[in-house]
Amino acid sequence: MPLTAKPTPGSLLLTPKDHALVMIDFQSQMAFATKSIDAIMLRNNAGLIASAAAGFKVPTVLTTVAEKSFSGPMFPEVTGPFPGQELVDRTSMNTWEDANVIKLINAIGKERLVFAGLWTSVCIVGPVLSALDQGYQAYVVTDACGDVSTEAHERAVERMVQAGARPMTALQYLLELQRDWARGDTYELTTGIAKTYGGSYGLGVIYAKTMFGAHEG
């Protein structure tokens, strides 16, 4: 029997309602030793996914490690979109081993989780492999992660992918949540985030709207 194509999205694509975002250790001390990605790009991409999650009302966990005693505050680009949200501070390098984080994960009740943070080979590998082991689906925003070297970051991503994690980028995350320019209720949100954090693509949106009044839909 020949296949019959249907105009419906694939089940592996993310939607605003089918997952939770977990943002881990976007903190000063962790960023100082990060060499696999420029700090400006890291902060930009972290701000992009935080703004996207907040705008699309994706349940989001913000967690730090030794915030007051060692690692310092979380990036304002990450906390800004979630005013008043409590940060879960941990002692464990593996977020999944923290009972308070797991309490939030269980309360949210999503089986599909998206992870981003510092460092890829420690604080992202740990919870991603642990979540996969317990039957969760795990996505990793790889350009909103960083490590002490490119080697460390790349081997960590490979290790997670081999275990079943699905890699993606920050801009991909935003556009996958929107996915159809005819969705007018989130059109301005999406293009606004793109204009702020979307690099050359964002500049293109600004140019098209300013010069021609263009609209993707």
Beta bridge pairs of residue 114 = 21, 139
Q: Where are the alpha helices (DSSP H) in 96-186?
A: 99-108, 125-133, 150-163, 170-178
Nearest Cα to Cα of residue 75 among 34, 123, 117: 117
Q: Give all strands of the β-sheet with 137-141 in edge-to-edge order.
A: 88-90, 60-65, 20-24, 112-117, 137-141, 166-168
Contacts for 143 with CB less than 8 Å, ≥ 6 apart: 37, 41, 45, 169, 170
Question: Which of 104, 122, 123, 144 does the annotation list as catalytic?
Answer: 123
How far is it between the farthest Cα atoms of the chain?
Answer: 64
- Distance separating alpha carbons of residues 25 and 207, to the nearest angstrom: 35
Question: What secondary structure letter does DSSP report for 24?
Answer: E
Which amino acid is present at 181?
W
Query: Is 145 an active-site residue?
Result: no
Contacts for 98 with CB less than 8 Å, ≥ 6 apart: 63, 88, 90, 91, 92
Residues serving a catalytic function are: 123
